[in-house]
Amino acid sequence: MTSAGAASERLLIRDLAQVATPAVGGAPARGAALRDVEVISDGFVLCENGRIAAVGAMRELPLLEEDRPGDDVEELDGRGLSAIPGLVDCHTHACFAGDRVGEFALRSAGATYEELHAAGGGILATVGATRAAAEPALAAAVARHREWMLQAGTTTFEAKSGYGLDRETELAQLRVIRDAGGVPTWLGAHAVPPEFAEEGSDTYLDFLLQDVLPEASRVAEAADVFVERGAFDVEQARRYLAACAEAGLALRLHGDQFTEMGAIQLAIELRAHSVDHLEATGKHGIEMLAASDVVGVLLPASALFLGRAMPPARELVDAGAAIALATDFNPGSAFCESLPLVCSLACTQLGLSPEEALVAVTVNPAHVLGRGAHKGRISPGFDADLVLLAAEDWRYLAYHLAGPVVDTVVVGGRIAWRSRA
């Protein structure tokens, strides 16, 4: 592991009250595997050159140290803390300019999200602000949002374009997301921009596929589409996603947020990595998704923020579906970057257990992002991305509603953030 002459970089986190990790992870966990969390009491984690080198109980440590003499080891005192894998947020819209605080106030007075959208606000309001921002300003916005996410324990994040809807701004969004270390998803098919209002959504899709996809597919890892009334229907989504798959992109869908339009069937047909939202999914959709390999990504902060029904998480899990949880962080429907808060909602509103919530914010979203082989578990060989929670019981992750649960965040074996000096 160590190249000749170079000392290895090691971080030993010792005397942790608990180390908790999803126990299995070769594929997205479902059923009993979703509840299979391994907990080591009085434990340690040894990181070496950015990877997990060893994890175990403190009583096993002397043996390990005999095996590995020599190199300097930075030590971190884990007393009073518990370690979990770094959190993976597989669904955000973290690249945007401006805000929608005015719309938030209007919604608090009774206006609905759909009404604001129909009146030219909503997504299109953020499109206006994002188009007006220069690329460095967009990069600064993503950096600020990434810092918020990091402080909440997110060590891997996905972010979508979709607030440009023109060639230049869509590509600028993808570049700044990639350059900030995020996983970029091309969401060209988010809404129809005003300049295509007359010609219509099919002509807009022609433009996306001809003029934007060739370059977008060089930067993005996946493509996403908003399947909804007033956005894109299933036929249009099929055309867009099939072309994106042809260009080498993984596929994602926003589906069943307000209306069941057949997004789940399409996700299964096209072997998408995920179908996200599902607040409106009924019995048939639950059964189909459960029988497939597509991961259902649930976004309870979005349902909460819009005051809408929660997705049928318990039914999905009990039917055997693989699920993940994400924030949907964006300025309109979920101004929330906190996966710990999402875990609290999962346990209080979705009927999931703390174990199911942990798996759904670590190894399962890592699979959605194609990173399940090396992110989302505390296991030798995995990336050394960790959250040290300020509690002796790791379940405080979900239990302490909006509390200061994150003590320290480790990314690639280095301390990236501490709550105290």
Tell me the closest approach of the beta carbon of residue 302 to ligand NIG, in angstroms: 5
- Check the CA dihedral 357-93-242-262 and report its sign: positive
Closer residue to ligand NIG, CB minimum distance, 187 or 409: 187
Interatomic CA distance for residues 121 and 114, integer angstroms: 9
Residue 217 CB, nearest distance to ligand NIG (Å)? Answer: 21
- Written as six digits, the tokens of 8 are 């290895």
Q: How far apart, in whole angstroms, are the C-alpha atoms of residue 83 and residue 408?
A: 9
Burial of 34 (0-12, 13-18, 19+ CB in 10 A): buried
What is the rounded distance in angstroms from the CA atom of residue 104 to the CA atom of residue 131? Answer: 21
Is 337 one of the binding residues for Fe ion (CB under 5 A)? no
- Cβ nearer to ligand NIG, comparing 153 with 162: 162
Give the binding range for Fe ion (CB under 5 A) out of 31-39, 229-237, 321-329, 342-350: 321-329
Q: Exposure pattern of 160-175 as b/e (b: 16+ CB <10 Å)?
A: bbbbbbbeebbbbbbb
Query: If you ran DSSP here, which 8-state letter would residue 123 be given?
Result: H
Q: How far apart are the first and last CA of the chain?
A: 32
- Among Fe ion, ligand NIG, none, the one that 221 touches (CB under a kind-dependent 5 to 8 A) is none
Q: Which residues pair with 415 in a beta bridge?
A: 410
In angstroms, give the least distance from the CB of 220 to ligand NIG.
Answer: 17
Q: If contact means CB under 5 to 8 A according to the sort of partner, which of Fe ion, ligand NIG, none does residue 281 touch?
A: none
In the complex, least distance from residue 253 CB atom to Fe ion, rounded to whole angstroms: 10
Query: Considering beta carbons, is residue 253 or 360 the nearer one to ligand NIG?
Result: 253
Select the residue interacting with Fe ion from 103, 279, 328, 383 (CB under 5 A). Answer: 328
* Closest to ligand NIG by CB, 338 or 408: 338
Measured at the CA of 280, the angle between CA 275 and CA 286, to 5 degrees, comes to: 60
The answer for 106, left when phi > 0, alpha when psi is -120 to 50, beta otherwise, is: alpha
Is the Cβ of residue 123 or residue 366 nearer to Fe ion in the bound state? 123
- Work out what residue 123 binds among Fe ion, ligand NIG, none; the CB cut-off runs from 5 to 8 Å by kind: ligand NIG
Q: Closest separation between CB of residue 99 and Fe ion, Å?
A: 17
Q: Which residues bind ligand NIG (CB under 6 A)?
A: 93, 122-123, 126, 226, 254, 257, 302, 328, 330-333
By C-beta, is 46 or 264 nearer to Fe ion?
264
User: 92 touches which of Fe ion, ligand NIG, none (CB within 5 to 8 A by kind)?
Assistant: none
Residue 369 structure tokens:
């992002």
Q: Other C-beta atoms within 10 Å of 92: how many?
A: 28
Residue of closest CB approach to ligand NIG: 332
Q: Which does 302 bind (CB under 5 to 8 A by kind): Fe ion, ligand NIG, none?
A: ligand NIG
The interface region with Fe ion, picked from 106-114, 255-263, 324-332, 398-406 by CB under 5 A, is 324-332
Q: Give Cβ neighbours of residue 253 (< 8 Å, ≥ 6 apart).
A: 224, 225, 227, 237, 241, 263, 266, 267, 272, 274, 275, 276
Nearest distance, CB of residue 401 and ligand NIG, angstroms: 22
DSSP class of residue 200? Answer: -
Beta strands in 128-280 (DSSP E): 154-160, 183-189, 222-225, 250-255, 274-277
Q: Which is nearer to Fe ion, 273 or 395 (CB)?
A: 273
Q: Closer to ligand NIG at the Cβ: 126 or 408?
A: 126
Q: Taking the complex as a whole, how short is the minimal distance between the CB of residue 299 and Fe ion, in angstroms?
A: 7
Q: Which is nearer to Fe ion, 328 or 337 (CB)?
A: 328
| Triad 373, 383, 420: Cα angle to 5° | 140
CA dist 240 and 398 (Å) reads: 38
We find the least distance from the C-beta atom of residue 191 to ligand NIG, in angstroms, to be: 8
Residue nearest to Fe ion (CB): 328
Q: Closest separation between CB of residue 329 and Fe ion, Å?
A: 9
Residues found near Fe ion in the complex (CB under 5 A):
328
